[in-house]
């Protein structure tokens, strides 16, 4: 019986010690940036979108997880002005693209992060328009911020408008299935 109590005390102590190394760092959404680039046959457009919330989970100094909520209502086009800007923002927020009236947020949950030299190979679950798909990307720490570039295939989230993969004869009206998101997370 004494050995059982000793074993239980050791397991409890090890569990407490290992959990005490886990740290959750809240992302400063006012200082963090999310920039996007969408391409089409005749050019591209770019803009920003705001984080609603975010945390990064560390075991000691190693990234092990995290979760982010993106405010889809904040889609902003930065390469246009006036009516063209308003028109594209409205279209991106419509059901043709992100359907923000019914899907005000998107989420990214990091499910695995493995350190490779100074970078992390990250795997996560991305949810856009209520559809979840796995994503993988490289994240690195630079100047006290975590940075990443994600390439996302919008068609995997039911966004098929202007996609040559689904619509024939679009010619110069085709929009790339992939869009790029560059993230700078300050914590």
Give tens-digit pLDDT for 115-173: 998 899 999 999 999 999 999 999 999 888 999 999 999 999 999 998 887 878 777 78
* Low-confidence winner among 16-20, 153-157, 168-172, 179-183 (lowest mean pLDDT): 16-20
Taking the C-alpha atoms of residue 92 and residue 100, their distance in angstroms, rounded to an integer, is 9
Residue 115 lies in a domain: yes
Residue 1 lies in a domain: no
DSSP code string of 56-95: EEEETTEEEEEEEEEEEEEEEESS--HHHHHHHHHHHHST
More confident residue, 177 or 1: 177
Query: Which residue, 156, 154, 142, 149, is CA-closest to 187?
Result: 142
Residue 13 lies in a domain: no
Main-chain phi, psi angles of 81, to 5 degrees: -135, 165
Residue 16 lies in a domain: no
Q: How confident is the model at residue 5 (pLDDT cuts 50, 70, 90)?
A: low
Give the dihedral sign, CA 61/56/30/136: positive
> For position 139, what pLDDT does the model report?
97
Residue 64 lies in a domain: yes
> For position 9, what pLDDT does the model report?
52
Residue 43 lies in a domain: yes
Structural domains in the chain (count) = 1
More confident residue, 172 or 15: 172
* Low-confidence winner among 11-15, 34-38, 39-43, 180-184 (lowest mean pLDDT): 11-15
Rounded mean pLDDT, 90-112: 98
More confident residue, 101 or 11: 101
Residue 148 lies in a domain: yes
Residue 8 lies in a domain: no
| pLDDT tens digit sequence for 51-99 | 999 999 999 989 999 999 999 999 999 999 999 999 999 999 999 999 9
Task: Give the range of the structural domain holding residue 76, as residue numbers without chain letter.
Answer: 22-186
pLDDT above 90 (res 38): yes
**Domain with 181 in it: what CATH number?**
2.40.128.110
């Amino acid at each position: 019986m004494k050995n059982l109590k000793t074993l239980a005390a050791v397991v409890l102590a090890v569990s407490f010690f290992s959990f005490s190394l886990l740290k959750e760092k809240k992302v400063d959404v006012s200082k963090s940036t999310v920039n996007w680039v969408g391409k089409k046959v005749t050019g591209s457009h770019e803009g920003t979108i705001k984080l609603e919330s975010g945390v990064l989970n560390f075991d000691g100094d190693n990234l092990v997880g995290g979760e982010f909520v993106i405010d889809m209502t904040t889609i902003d086009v930065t390469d246009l002005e006036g009516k063209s800007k308003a028109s594209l923002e409205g279209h991106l927020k419509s059901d043709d693209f992100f359907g923000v009236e019914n899907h005000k947020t998107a989420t990214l949950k990091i499910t695995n992060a493995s350190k490779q030299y100074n970078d992390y190979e990250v795997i996560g679950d991305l949810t856009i328009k209520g559809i979840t798909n796995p994503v993988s990307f490289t994240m690195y720490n630079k100047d006290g911020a975590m940075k990443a570039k994600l390439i996302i295939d919008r068609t995997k989230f039911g966004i098929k408008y202007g996609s040559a993969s689904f619509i024939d004869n679009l010619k110069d009206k085709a929009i790339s299935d992939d869009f790029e998101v560059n993230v700078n997370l300050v914590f």
